Structure 1
Amino acid sequence: MITTTARTTKSELVARVADQAGTSAATVERVLAALADAIGADLEAGASVTLPGLGTFEARDRAAREGRNPRTGETLQIAATRTPAFKAGAPLRRRVARA
């Protein structure tokens, strides 16, 4: 069953996957945790992770930049950083476009 709320919680997602896969929610929780850990480790090592039909996870470098404190208007330097990013694959993009 697809929820009608604008946001699906982790527990709702786990319950749906467990139901569709015919397995326990505890097993899905462990798989989800292992998946997140594996993707995080690969991104940390500089590799990207591609899941065909879903998309690609990658780490992107963000350059240092100048910002402003919205309260005081003071200019400040924002340090360069690496951030995780996700690029949806074509099947997922098409599915969302139909919705």
Structure 2
Amino acid sequence: MTKKSTKSTAKAAAPAPAEVSKMNKTQLVEQVAEQTNLTKKQADEAISAMLDIVVGALKEGKNVGLPGLGTLSVKETAARTGVKPGTTEKIQIPAGKKVAFKVATTLKGTL
């Protein structure tokens, strides 16, 4: 009787991907209402007003600092040549703008 070498063919278990969850506006409104003793309607109006102000400031090209969270800013993108998906046709992508977010160091340290 000969002994066969048994190599472990089991691969190291890869960690399961973290379940991605998302907080929607309704859930945000509920939590703000609970923590501030505002009604849900008042909390919704306050959050909507804040978001309108942030969007307005970004449209004007201003940076928006959110203490403890980070900074939103508008960045210019350069015109460039790209390739059309599914074909090899080269296309010209025009210059534009994008919103960038830089995480606050205090938040980065706690994640």
RMSD over aligned Cα, in angstroms?
A: 1.6
Q: Which residue of 2 aligns with 1:25?
A: 40
Q: Which amino acid aligns with 2:106?
A: P
Give the Å deviation of 1:95.
2.2
Long gaps (5+) in structure 2: 1-18
Secondary structure of the corresponding residue to residue 15 of structure 1? helix
How many angstroms apart in 1 are the aligned matches of 2:52 and 2:61? 14
Distance 1:53 1:94 in 2: 11
Residues 1-99 of structure 1 correspond to what in structure 2 (within 5 A)? 6-96=21-111
Aligned to 1:87, what secondary structure does the other structure show?
A: strand
**Structure with more contact order per residue of length (Cα contacts < 8 Å, sep ≥ 6):** 1
- Structure having the higher helix fraction is 1
For 2:85 and 2:20, the matched residues in 1 are separated by 32
Q: What is the CA distance between 1:60 and its match in structure 2?
A: 0.7
How far apart are 1:20 and its partner, in Å? 1.5
Amino-acid identity (%): 33
Moved segments of 4+, more than 2 Å: none
Q: SS in structure 2 opposite 1:85?
A: strand
Amino acid at match of 1:15: E
TM-score (norm 1): 0.82
Whole-angstrom CA distance in 2 between matches of 1:25 and 1:91: 30
- Where 1:32 maps in the other structure, the secondary structure is helix
TM-score, normalization: structure 2?
0.74
Please tell me the residue identity of whatever aligns with 1:57. Answer: L
- Residue 11 of structure 2 corresponds to none
Q: Which runs of 5+ in 1 are unaligned?
A: none
Letter in 2 for 1:56: T
